[in-house]
Amino acid sequence: MAGFRAAKRYAKGLMQFATETGKGAEINQEMEDLKNSIQSSRELAQFLSSPVLDSRKKNAIAKELFKDFSPASQNFIKLVIDQRREGMLKQIATQFNEIYDKSNNVRTAEVITATELNDGLVQDILSKAKSTMGENFTYKIENKINPDLIGGFILRVGDKQIDTSVRSRLNKLKKEFEINDYVAKI
């Protein structure tokens, strides 16, 4: 719990800096890239949490790894490493993305489909999300593939869900047949 609070404090501080300098969108994208890098590379996560390496070595390697980041993001990563909080970088980046999205009315729409979506379908689902969940938000689509759905999609935004999948329709039909007395008599 203390790690979560510390990560949130670092994220809020970075957000305040990003807002004051007008670099919110750039830093948000870099924090998203940082989070994705740590999630996708077990070696990077282990490197960051290793107590054996000292701060200078970690800073040198981090500077090389994130050389395409803005100086603001590079300096922030250096600060976190210098404070021996590098194991929390993923949490900090996640918290920053959440704070940034909330302050800019951006919601994440998780779309689960049986196959990959093309741009036309993404726009159709996005318009469905706007009409159902609220027009005054910008939506960020996260597409997940689940072949078990057979067809259709499941749209989740926050705690709301729209399920138009073939699998759920088949399950509803199955339950109706199980309950229906007329079918049991045949």
| pLDDT at 120 (0 to 100) | 87
Does position 184 have pLDDT exceeding 60, yes or no?
A: no
CA torsion sign for 170, 173, 175, 181 is negative
Q: Where are the beta strands (DSSP E) in 49-137?
A: 106-113
List the one residue out of 36, 63, 58 whose CA is nearest residue 48. 58
Does position 100 have pLDDT exceeding 90, yes or no?
A: yes
Does position 181 have pLDDT exceeding 90, yes or no?
A: no
Q: What is the mean pLDDT of residues 104-114?
A: 88
Does position 41 have pLDDT exceeding 80, yes or no?
A: yes
What's the pTM? 0.76
Residue with tokens 């072949």: 147
Q: What is the CA radius of gyration of the chain?
A: 22
Share of residues in the chain with pLDDT > 70 (%): 95
The pair of structure tokens assigned to 39 is: 């999630």
Question: Sheet containing 160-163: which strands, arranged edge to edge?
Answer: 138-145, 106-113, 153-157, 160-163
Domain boundaries, the chain: 2-102, 107-179
CA distance 101 to 99: 6
Q: Are 131 and 148 in contact (CB under 8 A)?
A: no
| pLDDT at 82 (0 to 100) | 94
Q: How confident is the model at residue 121 (pLDDT cuts 50, 70, 90)?
A: confident
Does position 89 have pLDDT exceeding 90, yes or no?
A: yes
Please state which CATH class domain 2-102 belongs to.
mainly alpha
CA-based end-to-end distance of the chain: 59
DSSP for 48-65, please give it: HH-SSS-HHHHHHHHHHH
